[in-house]
Structure formats: structure tokens, C-alpha cells
Amino acid sequence: MNTILNVIWLILAGIWLWIGYMLAGLLMCVLIVTIPWGIASFRIANYSLWPFGREVVSNPRSGVLSFLGNVVWVLLAGWWLALEHLITGVIMCLTIIGIPLGIANFKLIPVSLAPLGKEIVESK
């Protein structure tokens, strides 16, 4: 079932979300100081391309620097990526078949706002 949902996701939303995260990652890597945010953006881009069967968990070793980094991320790129997920999720929820995809978009909003201190793992 995860594969079917991932293929539908890829066609309807995954490509566009992936492009958004890749653009944010490239923008962050152009500025040398923000390369860690670019790497986080690339990691989330892969997750947003194929999200079903995986989940985001907090890294218990992350600390204050992750929090401060997430504040910078929200200001630079997180807010428009979260807005992208919100708009895509609302559009997906307009159809009954798209509701699971819309819910998946809403679940991606927190990680799009605060990617540092998170890990992507396989679902159990």
C-alpha cells in the first residue's frame, strides 16, 4: 500500500515539493555559511519525494544550536516551504482519494519549519 501511495504522491505532489526543497537547498549552499541548512533541505527533499513508509523523529542529541538554526531556517526558507505544504495539502483534501495525501502534506509542515535536530527513519 505504501508503494501505491508513494507513486500517487510522486505524480501529484512529490515532484513539486522536491523541486521546492532542492531550490531551497541550492540557495542555502550558495551562501557558504548556510551549508548545514542546505544539507538538511536536501535530506527533507528526498523524504518529500517518497514519504510513505518513513517517518520523522527527533534526534535526542540535538540541543540549543539546532533550535537556533531552526529559527534562522524559518526566516530564510522554512516559511515558504511550509506554505507550499499547506496549499498542496488543502488542494489534495478537496477529493476523497486525495485526503491521505493531504494529511501527509500536513504532517510535513513541522519538519519543513524545523528540519535541524530531526532524523528520517523507516516506519515500523
- How many whole angstroms separate alpha carbon 16 and alpha carbon 22? 10
Q: pLDDT for 5-21, tens place per residue? A: 889 889 988 899 999 89
- How many whole angstroms separate alpha carbon 103 and alpha carbon 97? 11
Q: Alpha helix (H) ranges present in 31-78?
A: 35-49, 64-73
Give the CA diameter of the chain: 44
Q: What is the per-residue pLDDT for 12?
A: 87
Q: Where are the domains of the chain?
A: 2-122
Average pLDDT over the chain reads 89
- How many whole angstroms separate alpha carbon 73 and alpha carbon 115? 8
Q: What is the per-residue pLDDT for 122?
A: 87
For residue 13, give the nearest of 80, 111, 97, 98 by alpha carbon. 98
Q: pLDDT for 43-90, tens place per residue? A: 999 998 888 888 888 887 877 888 888 898 898 888 988 999 999 999
